[in-house]
Structure 1
Amino acid sequence: MAAIIDDKSPICIPFILKKLKEHQDVNGGPNSAPPFFIGLNGVQGVGKTTLVTLLAKTLKDPPYSLPVAVLSIDDLYLTHADQVALAQSNPLNPLVQHRGEPGTHDLDLASTLFTALKAEQPALIPRYDKSQFDGQGDRMDRHKWIAVNQDGQQKIKIVICEGWCVGFRALTDDEVKAKWEESKQLHQADANSSTRTTLWSLRLEDLLFVNCKLKGYDVMTNLFDAMVHLDAEDTSYVYKWRLQQEAELRQQTGRGMTDEQVIKFVDGYYPAYELFSDKLRQGVVNTKGCQLRLVVSKNRQVQDVFVI
């Protein structure tokens, strides 16, 4: 696979630094300002990890030298036992038979964590191990969580929350139904269409279940002071990117999903992209001008930049 050129950090990091300074200026300076929350959304394989790593390093290093907490939405997944219980209580809903979609995260844990970080109170940032239970995953033991804001530690001043569904907001039931019906019409009109759509293959009640669960994610989204959205010209690029990643993994380690497994895996996430991406593109941060949207091409290079 060709090397990925990082053309996102030179755009995103100055934007975040500008918004951080504005946040500090209106709150009495770096020492007095409350923690600055950053949301970072990107489809799988678009380059989130590189951006988050460089952004965190920039904020931690001089001249900013700020204590930074980085967490992934993946670290907030339900425990394995709770995920199994969710699947068993909704046996006909394929969207919650495994981790991934909204509804498979622990929102009580998220609320407790984000409330503590906002108040600069002691907190433990969870960690999740996707390899447990033959790849089904489970939360790591608490002694492996990251302790922050403890006695003797600097208070966390920057919180970066990244993930594929970070910033998604729920729709009305009518909006969900309209997207579902549009997907059915598109599929019936041309089953071989190049436009990827999966909503038609699901029951409306399954989609409404996930949408209802997403409302609880506002305990995180409402705290974001800035948002970065790494979008794609065509969301279906996620299939190609994941196939490339797994092919590279198989070549390097001899392990990894087959192409069929990759497609099935991405199918489990794709309905949420179809449902909630449009609303994210319109802006989810309460303050105007605090959301940055980068639109990338199939080769992951930035094509357009929007401030929302």
Structure 2
Amino acid sequence: MPESATIKPSLFEALKAFLSEERLPAAFGQTFVAWYAGMTRHLAARADVNTQPLLVGVSGCQGSGKSTLAKAMARIAHEVFGTPATTLSLDDFYLTQTERKRLSESIHPLFATRGVPGTHDLALLNSTLQALTKVDGPVALPEFDKARDERTKSVHWRQVCAPVRLIFLEGWCVGIPPQSDLALVEPVNETEREQDSVGRWRQEVNRQLQSIYAALFDQLDVLLFLKAPDFNAVFDWRWEQEQRLSDAIRKGAHSTTGTGMTRNEVDAFVLHYQRLTEHALATLPGIADVTWDLDHERSVRRMQLMSAST
């Protein structure tokens, strides 16, 4: 059964406005009230008494809804529960094309493709986290244009008022532990078999997880996980994301000169994420503070709290 939550009247007003702005169906609001509102209230209350701002990781595969959930939680925490909150997306901290090209030439060609650990600017992310907790005033949050596969110019970055008490860091690989050396031996798909036959790319990705990414994830106070039913769901979910992006570009609602990807390009792109996505599905339910099991329609089937489930 869903978690129970003491619902303030203003929650419904805040959710209604959020659904309208994000163009989300009413069903999301119902799901939020049933499964996520109580956790949002709990996190806001904990952040209010914490000596330091609370850093909450929100992990889930591509298209699982983690970005939307993080935005909704931050919005409700701020407007309904009175806790200053914001979101950061790991995707917004991808290295530039020039930086990834340099990695592809010095380490492995697959590092030209954004996504895996090693393709993020964690120094920029850490400095942004510091600013959100220390600065008294506006802080610029980096943004990445996926249609152009490039970081946007800083003049276009979103501004938030710091300091905040609650930060949601969402990303597809947030909280994922490194794999064992043995697990790296066999390729998991044709991309690894054909383009990483000796395993140098996946070994370097794992080394990144063991080092600077582990240091980042150690800063998390709470880890939330949206668990997909299986890896196959990612292909359709990621394609849905791409269609929404393309639609926004056509309607002029997205400030980019990019064109997005075709279905075949999306499917090939997703294969870069397969190894760690499957690793996350196997390991994060035993690590995350809260896991929500999703079905193929992204409806919540159950919620697991570390050693218990509802």
The match for 1:164 among 172, 178, 200 is 172
- Aligned residue identity for 1:219: A
Please report the RMSD computed on the Cα atoms of aligned residues, expressed in angstroms: 3.0
Matching of residues 178-197 of structure 1 within 5 Å: 178=183, 180-181=185-186
Q: Determine the C-alpha separation between the residues in 2 that align with 1:4 and 1:208.
A: 44
TM-score by length of 2: 0.75
Name the counterpart of 2:83: 66
Q: CA deviation at 1:90?
A: 2.3
Deviation, structure 1 residue 198: 6.4
Inter-partner Cα distance in structure 2 for 1:272 and 1:4: 32
Match of 2:54 among 14, 19, 36: 36
What runs of 5+ residues in structure 1 fail to find an aligned partner?
28-32, 185-195, 285-290
Letter in 1 for 2:299: Q
Aligned positions of 1:90-109 closer than 5 A: 90-91=107-108, 93-94=109-110, 96-109=111-124
Q: Give the Cα–Cα distance (whole angstroms) in 1 for the partners of residues 232 and 261 of structure 2.
A: 19
Preserved CA contact (<8 Å) 1:12 1:292: no
Name the aligned partner's letter for residue 105 of structure 2.
Q
Question: Quick one: structure 1 residues 302 and 39, their matched pair in 2 at CA, closer, same or farther if it must change by over 3 Å?
Answer: same
- Contact kept, 8 Å, 1:166 with 1:221, in 2: the verdict is yes
**For structure 2, which runs of at least 5 residues remain unmatched after alignment?**
1-24, 252-258
The structure with the largest helix share of the pair is 2
Q: Does 1:50 align with 2:73?
A: no
Shift of 1:218: 2.7
Amino acid at match of 2:91: D
Match of 2:152 among 133, 140, 143: 140
CA contact (8 A) 1:177 1:204 kept: no
Moved more, 234-243 or 121-130: 121-130
The answer to whether structure 1 residue 302 and structure 2 residue 300 are counterparts is yes
Distance, in Å, in 2 between the alignment partners of 1:14 and 1:204 is 44
Post-superposition CA distance 1:71-112 (Å, at most 9, x none): 100111112321111111124x42x12111110001222222
Seen in structure 2, the aligned counterparts of structure 1 residues 275 and 147 have a Cα distance that, compared at 3 Å, is same
Map of 1:228 onto structure 2? 224
Q: Which residue of 2 aligns with 1:128?
A: 144
Aligned partners of 1:56 and 1:68 also within 8 Å: yes
With normalisation by structure 1, the TM-score equals: 0.75
SS in 2 for 1:100: coil
Q: 1:18 aligns with which of 39, 42, 47?
A: 42
**In the alignment, which residue of structure 2 is the partner of 1:114?**
129
The structure-2 alpha-carbon separation of the partners of 1:55 and 1:234, relative to structure 1 and needing over 3 Å to count, comes to same
Report the equivalent of 2:267: 263
* In 1, Cα distance between equivalents of 2:143 and 2:260: 22
Q: What secondary structure does 1:44 align onto?
A: coil
Kindly provide the CA deviation profile for residues 247-295 of structure 1, in whole angstroms up to 9, marking residues without a partner as x. Answer: 56667849653221111111122222134443322215xxxxxx11111
Q: Are residues 179 and 213 of structure 1, via their aligned partners in 2, closer, same or farther at CA, if it must alter by over 3 Å?
A: closer
Of all paired residues, the percent bearing the same amino acid is 27
The equivalent of 1:287 in structure 2 is none
Query: Is 2:27 aligned against 1:5?
Result: yes
Once residues 110 and 278 of structure 1 are traced to their aligned partners in structure 2, the CA distance between those partners, rounded to angstroms, is: 27
The aligned counterpart of 1:187 is: none
